[in-house]
Amino acid sequence: YKAGREEGRWLTQSEAAETGNVTPTTVRTHHETLEEQVA
């Protein structure tokens, strides 16, 4: 999800979650964690 956004490939958290067989909440949590580590 994060890498896609950085490359201009916009997909929803739900789409990323479905592909990874996880919940959108899991995608959101890991996205927020990465944002904190990179910032």
Domain ranges of the chain: 2-38
Which candidate, 17, 21, 18, places its Cα nearest to that of 30?
Answer: 17
Burial of 7: CB neighbours in 10 Å, binned 0-12, 13-18, 19+: exposed
Residue 18: predicted pLDDT: 92
Contact assessment for residue 4 and residue 10, using Cβ atoms and an 8 Å cutoff: yes
Model confidence pLDDT, tens digit, residues 4-23: 788 888 888 898 889 889 99
If one compares 39 and 36, the residue with the highest pLDDT of the two is 36
**Confidence band for 39, pLDDT divided at 50, 70 and 90:** low
DSSP code at position 22: S
Residue 33: predicted pLDDT: 84
